Amino acid sequence: MWAMTTPSFRSDRGAGILVLGLLAACGSADVDTAAEVADGDARGSLQFRLPLLETHLFELVVGVDHDPVDHSDGPMAEALLCTAYDGRPFPACYDEHRGSDYILEGAFDTMDAGSATILAAAGGTVIDLADGNYDRCHKASDGVDCDGNPGDPNYVIVAHEGGWQTKYWHMQNGSVAVAVGDDVACGDPLGKVGSSGYSSQPHLHFQLEDEEGVAIDPYAGEYSQAETWWVEQRASSQLPVDRCEE
Ligand SMILES: [Zn+2]
């Protein structure tokens, strides 16, 4: 997220490169602008599948922060202060993160070998997208380095019944498989996982928002809402089931 680029974070090297890598794994002022996480209890009948096809390429999920305190003006160590839907701390989340990051195992090697396919989490209409942007942004000592290219993400936004939107960020250059105005069904391919925009390694940033643009954590839990937005949320894995609602 954008807050990681603040000078206070740059000046504190104590948290180490792994932490920095995870912190910088994601982000964009375009997706992470919500001031708070909404109560997602007004879900209605909308349900989501895991928005990825090759489930074996994913394990680590860095999710939404439910800690109401914004630590982004503090030292870098405070960027670790977060509360995931089930109460877990970093690396289950990080400060002010508004989406769920699905980290591609094998990073750029896996991306170069064909990457992984991003799928529509539910049916809807494509309302916005971008493609053609550099997709090999990577971590640097002060955040993210796009090798001299603009740090603009490739992305797709799908609008769903009820006014909710899902956002799919950091896609591979040239991979976007839909057009604005397309109706998509749950499970339709949208593109491929990349590292475009403010991204330190290939991953999907999946973000659910209400009609006012406020982020909602699709995961149910003690610190989130009571009912999951996933077709099925599992206790044994941070990956929800990879099937659409029946
Ligand atoms: Zn993210």
CA of 244 to the centre of ligand 1 (A): 23
Q: Which of 182, 161, 163, 175 is nearest to 131 (CA)?
A: 175
Inform me whether the pLDDT recorded for 29 exceeds 70. no
How many whole angstroms from 203 Cα to the centroid of ligand 1? 8
> What topology does CATH give the domain 28-56+99-216?
Glucose Permease (Domain IIA) (2.70.70)
Q: For residues 82 and 170, what is the distance between their CA atoms, to the nearest angstrom?
A: 23
- pLDDT of 23 reads 57
Q: How far apart are CA 174 and CA 48, in angstroms?
A: 25
Q: Looking at residue 19, what is its pLDDT?
A: 47
pLDDT digits (tens, 9 = 90+) for 192-220: 999 999 999 999 999 999 999 999 999 99
Q: Please check the confidence at residue 28 and state whether its pLDDT lies above 50.
A: no
Per-residue model confidence (pLDDT) at position 25: 59
* pLDDT average, residue stretch 142-164: 95
Could you give the CA distance from residue 188 to residue 143 in angstroms, rounded to a whole number?
33
Q: Positive or negative CA dihedral for 150, 154, 160, 165?
A: negative
Name the least confident of 36-50, 62-76, 169-183. 36-50
**What is the spatial distance between Cα 161 and Cα 124, in angstroms, rounded to a whole number?**
7
Of all residues in the chain, the percent with pLDDT exceeding 70 is: 85
pLDDT at 22: 58
Q: What does each C-alpha distance from 58 to 51, 90, 115, 135 come to in angstroms?
A: 11, 18, 11, 19
What pLDDT sits at residue 17?
38
pTM reported for the whole predicted model: 0.87
The chain-wide mean pLDDT, for the chain, equals 87
How far is ligand 1, taken at its centre, from the CA of residue 28, in Å?
8
CA of 113 to the centre of ligand 1 (A): 23
